[in-house]
Structure 1
């Protein structure tokens, strides 16, 4: 059975992939290796895992405005997530997703961090404004 939720569009696009879920905010500057997409922040629950090619589900960003450029570097290096889902997107992640052409949505009908599980197949439609758990 699929679950489909309405979502607010932040960065347009459409992508499908396996979910990688974090209950913790992510700083794209210093927390993720921009060459590999591997989370390098010690103590982060995703430490050692790669965001490359995943639908990255997390509450929102934290840290420096350079994080926007870090997201862009991830994309240029082929190490970016396919799409991102936030509880509430802040400007750093929004700008990074937009300049990198990464679909990004937030403000879902339900909390995506508690609803979506690691490995779930997820379709992010940031053209129509929906998230579908397949």
Structure 2
């Protein structure tokens, strides 16, 4: 594996998770953006409206919307429909709350030349190490 396939950020929680990435470059709203009962993105006009975040490696720049964002994303976890891990360009307090309460792996606060929203593609199979602060792209999506 080439060094360029490993991103290094800040270890931000949890241990290890592997799965398929769902990259939301503009994040997802909490209120009216996600259904806590299903994990399905409900935000009108979102590129992944109708898609579930369940068991994905959710790659987002950070939270978006009100302070209730953490409640909605943690609610997905409580109902068994949360992501397997988070990869956050920059950690904020809303994301931090959701990640800590859910207890899932997270890597955040990447240097500017390693923006995960640009370097990881939806459908890539990745491994998140929340203890070491690494995100390894194990297999690239066949989609362009």
Q: In the alignment, is residue 127 of structure 1 matched against residue 136 of structure 2?
A: no
The TM-score with structure 2 as length reference comes to: 0.87
- Matched residue count: 134
Q: CA deviation at 1:14?
A: 1.5
Gaps of 5+ in 1: none
Structure 2 distance, partners of 1:58, 1:106, is 10
Q: Which moved more, 1:111-120 or 1:62-71?
A: 62-71
Structure 1 distance, partners of 2:106, 2:29, is 16
Structure 2 distance, partners of 1:64, 1:108, is 24
Instruction: Indicate the residue corresponding to 1:100 in structure 2.
Output: 102
Gaps of 5+ in 2: 139-144
SS in 1 for 2:101: helix
Query: Deviations along 1:13-57, whole A, 9 cap, x unmatched?
Result: 221100001111222232010111110000111211111000001
The answer on whether the counterparts of 1:11 and 1:94 sit within 8 Å (CA) in structure 2 is no
Structure with larger RCO (C-alpha < 8 A, sep 6+): 1
Q: Which moved more, 1:46-55 or 1:23-32?
A: 23-32
SS in 1 for 2:37: coil
Structure 1 distance, partners of 2:91, 2:42, is 22
- Which of the two has higher C-alpha Rg? 2
